[in-house]
Amino acid sequence: MLFKHIGHAEFWMETENGIRIVTDPYDAGCGYPVRPVEAEIALVSHHHHDHDAVENLQGNPLVIDQAGKYTPDEGVKITAVCGYHDEVRGEKRGETLMFLIEADGLRIVHLGDLGDRLNPEQENELRNPDVLMIPVGGFYTIDGKQAREIAARLNAKVVLPMHYKTDYNADWPITGPEVFLEGYDQKDISEDAEALRVTKEDMMCQPKVVLFKA
């Protein structure tokens, strides 16, 4: 499977048989340039402007924005699990969806705008991801330290940090990925990646953390 980080919480994935999946597409108000992305499937964790701009996507994708189990293609299974956008069971910012994508023999997890620790049921559903996309910037979501703890509890093999401060959103009250990265050896971190290709057979060769070029 091929991965590209479009920006913020938006990732683009392509399976071996050409199914393209986009997570949490952002709009221009996010500060990032709106890049043209074509997809068959769009996963929307919640309806905030920096996560649900499906109108900017090309290809008339199927939009999944409700909890449940889906099989949008013969080789793709998606489970959408409810979580909280804050540490007080959604009282501040409501709920967020977390997605488990099963394709190409891989388990891929995107945690949306998770703002609280996972409960045992959520952990059990999302455990052992080959690739984990996790927010690390704090304030609106879990912070870097909490993200490290969650990645460890889930036993994630490859972690793709997201939802952190960059030059595009420099005025947001969130942090960069530095606190999250403190828990890893520099040799286990790949920075400024253009893209990432992962197969079940090469998991042992992958870096533990991948930061994409902004």
- Stretch (H or E) spanning 76: strand 76-84
Tell me: the pLDDT tens digits for 55-106?
A: 999 999 999 999 999 999 999 999 999 998 656 565 666 689 999 999 999 9
Residues with Cβ < 8 Å from 14, sequence gap 6 or more?
1, 2, 20, 21
Per-residue confidence in pLDDT tens, the chain, 214 aa: 999 999 999 999 999 999 999 999 999 989 999 998 999 999 999 888 888 999 999 999 999 999 999 999 999 999 999 998 656 565 666 689 999 999 999 999 999 999 999 999 999 999 999 999 999 999 999 999 999 999 999 999 999 999 999 999 999 999 999 999 998 999 999 999 999 999 999 998 899 999 998 7
Which residue's entry shows tokens 């070029």? 213
Question: How far, in Å, CA of 151 to CA of 23, rounded?
Answer: 19
What pLDDT score was predicted for residue 48? 81
Q: Between β-strands 62-64 and 41-43, what pairing exists: parallel, antiparallel or unpaired?
A: parallel
Residues with Cβ < 8 Å from 18, sequence gap 6 or more?
none
Tell me: the pLDDT tens digits for 51-61?
A: 899 999 999 99
Based on the number of CB atoms within 10 Å of its own CB, is 130 exposed (0-12), middle (13-18) or buried (19 or more)? buried
Residues in the chain: 214
Q: Please state the separation of Cα 137 from the chain's center in Å.
A: 13
Backbone angles phi, psi at 191, to 5 degrees: -115, 155
Question: How far, in Å, CA of 210 to CA of 188, rounded?
Answer: 9
- Stretch (H or E) spanning 147: helix 144-154
Calculate the average pLDDT of the chain. Answer: 93
